[in-house]
Structure 1
Amino acid sequence: MLSFWEKQTFTAYDYAVVGSGIVGLSTAISIKEKQPDASVVVFESGLLPTGASTKNAGFACFGSLTELLEDIKILGKEKALELVMERYLGLVKLRERLGDQNLDYHNHGGYELIREQELYCIEEIETINDLLKDVFDKKPFEENKSLISEFGFNEQVVKSMIYSRYEGQIDTGKMMKSLINVAQRMEIRILSGASVSKIEDNGSDVDIVVADQTYGHVNFKAGSVAICTNAFTKKFINDLDLNPGRGIVLVTKPIENLKFKGVFHCEKGYYYFRNYGNRVIFGGGRNLDYKAETTTSFSLNEQIKTELLRQLDEIILPDTPYEVDYFWAGIMAFGQNKQPILKQHSDHIYLGVRLGGMGVAIGSRMGEKLAEMMI
């Protein structure tokens, strides 16, 4: 049983956020920026932020050319443009809030490997550049075939390359550590290992039940709650167009004389790789087995591991010796389209979920907008 002091001091807040990933911490920070005297608590089920925020590959990007063309097919030009703008503004906000040094941000550029079946997109470069003319001060995309040999890729498979000048890379661990540090300096309380089992809007405020090893459960109250649990949100709200999508990633050991720097996209964004110093971080392959990868399990799909290694051997590092250091998995959230879910669910409960694999880009912007809705 909680003591009088614990009930008085630790269980009631003006605002609560469920999930301490990019969106959750960005929401909490944005609330405190707007209301410095407000009490804010963040609940995190794991010891570390669980899902994708600490497990992504560290891309500071807004989408490759082929991805944007797919978005236009599904969303139409206007909504696709709006999505690019939100991603770009999110990256600007992230960099402004934390600083490039704390992110270990580098603008080595973004690149897309174009195979035979994707050559159609070359003719669309100027169309997309024109669509994005009000977002960027220079044309974001241009073709550069010479980069194939310069970077050492397999020229039998890679038929062209597209350069994107506005894409960069970050250190995901440093980003999350910096977000946590900012939140703590603002006296936002972060409770790790706090698995929320129930969230109920009672009409005047919100009751939150948290599982606890000592007490069995602890009851909290908050004036408003933001649910920022992305792929794990159906634990609380079932009727959402939201499905988990596992992403498997590997990192190599340091490679002597690695030929490329930057972030790279392949096959409409289903594969992605980058340098981290002289290592290669490479992930993707969810499209090989959608059914198995629609999961919140952090296990590794052997079929996808095998395909990642094949592409490293045959396409990315065909003439370069390397060793894989290790693999890991993160859990993203997807729906019928890539638009995030950002809405008021009830009088005092709000949602900021379904980032479509673009959490680094759009997370800070979502947190800012979610805070504006709540206040």
Structure 2
Amino acid sequence: MPSNSILNSEKLSYWEQKSFFKDIDYLIIGAGIVGYSTAIYLREIYPTRKIIIIERGLLPSGASSKNAGFTCFGSASEIYSDLQKYKEEDVWDTIKLRWEGLCNLRKLIGDKNLKLKSTGSWDLITSKEMKIFENIKKQIPYYNEKLKEITNENNTYFIDDNVNNEFGFKNIKTSVFNRLEGLIDTSSMNQVFQKKIISKNISVLFGINAIKIKGKNTITDQGIITSKNIVICTNGFAKSLISSEDIQPARAQVIITKPIENLKIKGAFHYNEGYYYFRNIDDRILLGGGRNLDIKSETTTELKNTELIISSLKSLLKNIILPNTPFEIDHQWSGIMGVGKSKKPIIKKINNNLYCGIRLGGMGIAIGSLIGKELAHLIKKTGNK
């Protein structure tokens, strides 16, 4: 333990030790959507047990506060692509999980608190993708039939050929509209999560980075924390704590423009099979993606931007999204997702007192709260009494 550790007994008062570090029933690592949700549902199950959340950053470090704020569950091109690679049953199970997760998030946080906007989303198709589009077009009745089974809604997907005129895009041939997707305000969502956590007598300690787990001890950069149970909810950062699991970090880079007068673009948009995505927010365009340009380099937990990907985002803005509109970039950032060979999340008991809810596959908004709920009930079912 470092001599300057905040967990060194000489650094903490009796009150601090008692309140935050003694007799912890559940230590949750990661203050994102999954970590917060797990804590909330554990509190419902165990009203008096001590629940502590630790987070490596001064703010959540993964994607929970850095995402684009899409309530997406599956674009037509993603479904088409996945049906070529995975079992049909698995593809629709994934869509169902995302839809049910979004419903759970709306129930937990509330549409007003999420600042939910049911704009729908557009899956943009270029001339290079027209051959694939023709195949997708034939499958839309089938997709709608399957979505009806999941959502009880008719005609989720339909063709929209008017996107260039409607939004001022260039070189977009057509699009597939998904009327059930939309947008939320990520910061508002996180603020409500934090208020709920505080109201339920759960403490969140920021600036403590978990490095290794040994039995009931979590070794951090600030010292050792002992707890009866440990719950890993760090998603893309989880590999360093549980190397046995199939999960890798996946960095996503994002830019946002300065406010643009008379901005025509309203809604959520997917481009290039979902590798790029953009939306309007506060009269700006928020645009992310491009990880496919350099998958190897983007398999990292380093929060930084690269010239290759930022240049591609700017080029997309200039040539496709805002071809006739002057714009300036105001800010750029990155977030870390967790991916693997499968799109299924990992929700499991690893050993007697260690659990995890990870591998959200870039769908944290859609499935994060539901993973937390399922993880809490797994702990109840299999945990130490």
- TM-score, normalisation: structure 2: 0.91
Distance in 2 (CA, whole Å) between partners of 1:56 and 1:76 is 29
Task: Give the conservation status (yes or no) of the 8 Å contact 1:71–1:338.
Answer: no
Distance 1:275 1:43 in 2: 33
Aligned counterparts, 1:198-237, within 5 A: 198-201=212-215, 206-212=216-222, 217=223, 219-237=224-242
Cα distance change on mapping 1:74 and 1:222 into 2, 3 Å: farther
**In structure 2, how many angstroms separate the alpha carbons of the residues matched to 1:321 and 1:5?**
57
1:187 paired residue among 201, 207, 221? 201
Shift of 1:71: 2.3
Preserved contact between residue 45 and residue 196 of structure 1 (Cα < 8 Å): yes
1:127 aligns with 2:138: no
Whole-angstrom CA distance in 2 between matches of 1:84 and 1:208: 35
1:144 to 142, 146, 160: 160
1:40 equivalent in structure 2: 51
- Rounded to whole Å, the distance in 2 between the matches of 1:171 and 1:165 is 19
Distance (whole Å) between structure 2 residues aligned to residue 268 and residue 34 of structure 1: 41
Distance (Å, rounded) in 1 between the aligned partners of 2:83 and 2:203:
41
Give the number of equivalent residue pairs: 364
For the residue of structure 2 that corresponds to 1:134, the secondary structure is helix
Aligned to 1:56: 67
What does 1:1-375 correspond to in 2, within 5 Å? 1-2=8-9, 6-11=16-21, 12-116=23-127, 117=129, 118-119=132-133, 120-136=135-151, 137-154=153-170, 157-201=171-215, 206-212=216-222, 217=223, 219-375=224-380
Q: Secondary structure at the match of 2:277?
A: strand
Whether contact under 8 Å (2:210, 2:221) holds in the other structure is yes
Residue type of the alignment partner of 1:148: N
Q: Specify every segment of 5 or more residues in structure 2 that has no aligned partner in the other structure, as ranges.
A: 1-7, 381-385
Question: Could you tell me whether the CA contact under 8 Å between 1:74 and 1:337 is conserved in 2?
Answer: no
Cα displacement (A) at 1:70: 2.1
| Alpha-carbon offset, residue 82 of structure 1 | 1.2
8 Å contact kept, 1:224–1:374: no
- Indicate the SS of the match to 1:38: coil
Q: TM-score, normalised by structure 1?
A: 0.93
How far apart are the structure 1 equivalents of 2:230 and 2:359? 17
Q: What displacement does 1:73 show?
A: 2.6
**In the TM superposition, what is the alpha-carbon distance from 1:7 to its structure 2 partner?**
4.3
2-structure distance, mates of 1:246, 1:197: 20
Q: CA RMSD in A?
A: 1.4
- Tell me the distance in 2 between the aligned counterparts of 1:115 and 1:147: 12
Asked if 2 retains the 8 angstrom alpha-carbon contact of 1:43 and 1:192, the reply is yes
Distance between the aligned counterparts of 1:365 and 1:330, measured in 2?
A: 21
CA contact (8 A) 1:14 1:39 kept: yes
Structure 1 CA distance, aligned partners of 2:158 and 2:282?
A: 25
Mapped partners of 2:20, 2:287: distance in 1: 42
- Structure 1 stretches (4+) deviating beyond 6 angstroms? none
| Separation (CA, whole Å) in 1 of partners of 2:299 and 2:235 | 13
Deviations 1:272-311 (A, max 9, x none): 0001131110010000111111111112111111111111
* Structure 1 portions without partners, runs of 5+: none
The letter of the residue matching 1:121 is I
- Aligned-residue identity in percent: 41
